Amino acid sequence: MEEKIIKREITYSDEHLKDFYMKVDDTFATINTTTPYLSWDEYFANIAMLAALRSKDENTKVGAAIVSSSHKLLGMGYNGLPSGIDESQFPTAREGKDISETKYCYTIHAEQNALCNTTVFDLTGSSIYVTLFPCCYCASILIQRGIKEVIYLSDKHHNDPEYIASRKLFDAAGVVTRQYDGRIFCVV
Ligand code: ZN
């Protein structure tokens, strides 16, 4: 079969982006040699991953993408503080004298931000792609908004109480959860 991968001409002005463009080309080449385009799963899982890269959290970057049953992107989000506040005035630590001195009191989770950012109100029957399995607080809100499927990448908190509770909530509400096992194309 004829080789169809086209390498860009790198000009002097974008020499500093050479590594980036080479990675982009490698990514395209990888896709071209396996499938000619991304599956819906790959498309939205990678969008969630891209959203995670916007997070300023130094320890845990999480991204989420809400998708309709007809494969329309309805909202995206990542974990972070509420907008419009001076972030330097708030803690970023995971531990403190009490919880008000930790980031946990002030951080909006990726799922919550994705819900805040939706372009439509009715999310009944939609799915959410998340880079980390949702906590129980997000799970209850996702259920309440009618999300019917959760596709997650990492499940690193599987045995923690807040995540055991999540699965209990999802199971009770008939929300399907499954781990994404496709490809991730991050150009960083
Ligand atoms: Zn959460």
pLDDT digits (tens, 9 = 90+) for 81-111: 999 998 888 888 888 888 888 888 899 999 9
- Tokens representing 7 are 């390498």
Whole-number pLDDT of residue 164: 97
Nearest to 128 by CA among 107, 108, 105, 110: 110
Whole-number pLDDT of residue 1: 45
128 by Cβ neighbours in 10 Å (0-12 / 13-18 / 19+) ranks as buried
Q: What is the pLDDT of residues 164-183, one digit of tens each?
A: 999 999 999 999 999 999 88
Known catalytic residues are 111
- Centroid of ligand 1 to alpha carbon of 109 (angstroms): 5
Whole-number pLDDT of residue 93: 81
Q: How far is CA 117 from CA 1, 28, 66, 75, in A?
A: 45, 30, 10, 5
* pLDDT surpasses 50 at 58: yes
Whole-number pLDDT of residue 67: 98
- Centroid of ligand 1 to alpha carbon of 168 (angstroms): 15
Residue of 88 and 2 predicted with greater confidence: 88
Q: What does pLDDT average to over the chain?
A: 88
Q: What is the pLDDT of residues 117-138, one digit of tens each?
A: 998 999 999 999 999 999 999 9
- Centroid of ligand 1 to alpha carbon of 186 (angstroms): 23
With bands split at pLDDT 50, 70 and 90, how would you rate the model's confidence at 30? confident
- Centroid of ligand 1 to alpha carbon of 114 (angstroms): 11
Q: What is the pTM of this model?
A: 0.84
Burial 58-74, CB ≥16 within 10 A → b, else e: eebbbbbbbbeeeeeeb
- Centroid of ligand 1 to alpha carbon of 58 (angstroms): 17
Whole-number pLDDT of residue 98: 86
Please state the separation of Cα 153 from the chain's center in Å. 9
Residue 74, helix vs strand vs coil: strand
Residue of 7 and 48 predicted with greater confidence: 48
Whole-number pLDDT of residue 107: 92
